[in-house]
Amino acid sequence: MIARGSRQRGSVEAYRSDESLGANLEYTRLEGAFLAALSRGPTTVLLGVRGGSAFDSTLPVHHDFSLGGFQRMSGLLPREVVGNHYGFARVTVRTQLGTLPTALQGGAFYLGFSLEGGNAWDDTQSVQFGDFQGAASVFAGVETFVGPLFVSYGRTASGDDKVYLMLGRGL
């Protein structure tokens, strides 16, 4: 358990598919992300933002931007919101309540919640951050010998809800 501290991580990915170089499709894709974790005692606050654009091109289905699923618009199915441009932000708070016995080969167990907002758009003229959709989740998680195990309930501001069970993917 981190008693006190912080950590930040950011990334930028640029991709260009060019027919003059032998590609079947021509498009540009740029995506950026930033995540900050702040811990004090057993509680960690995660702040994250992501966004991306295809500029004036159209992304193929296998490379479009998508939202949905646990902590990526909880309450929606994965890829329920897709587009050529997107923005997303979340705040997650989790508290470590204890640890599992060594005989169970487990680690810490947590309770937490998230507040999320985001959307995706097909063209640049449609992009308006006032169109962000809201979502939230509550979850319980435990570190196991095969990876983190989470059970979560998510709900969007428009009333869509889902229950998630994930193994091997952390926050």
- Give me the pLDDT at residue 170, please: 64
Q: Please, are residues 90 and 114 in contact by the beta-carbon 8 Å criterion?
A: yes
SS3 of residue 127 by DSSP: coil
Q: Is 110 exposed, middle or buried (0-12, 13-18, 19+ CB in 10 A)?
A: buried
Report whether 28 contacts 54 (CB < 8 A): yes
Q: What is the mean pLDDT of each run of 10 residues along the chain (171 residues)?
A: 78 96 95 98 97 96 96 97 98 94 77 98 91 97 89 98 89 62
Residue 5 pLDDT: 85
The pLDDT of residue 103: 58
Task: Name the residue range of residue 17's domain.
Answer: 4-167
How many structural domains compose the chain?
1
Closest CA to 144 of 111, 81, 101: 101
CATH number where 30 lies: 2.40.160.50
**Burial letters for 17-45: b for 16+ Cβ neighbours within 10 Å, e otherwise?**
beeeeeeeeebebebeeebebbbeeeebe
> What is the reported pLDDT for 147?
87
Distance of CA 64 to the CA centre of its chain: 15
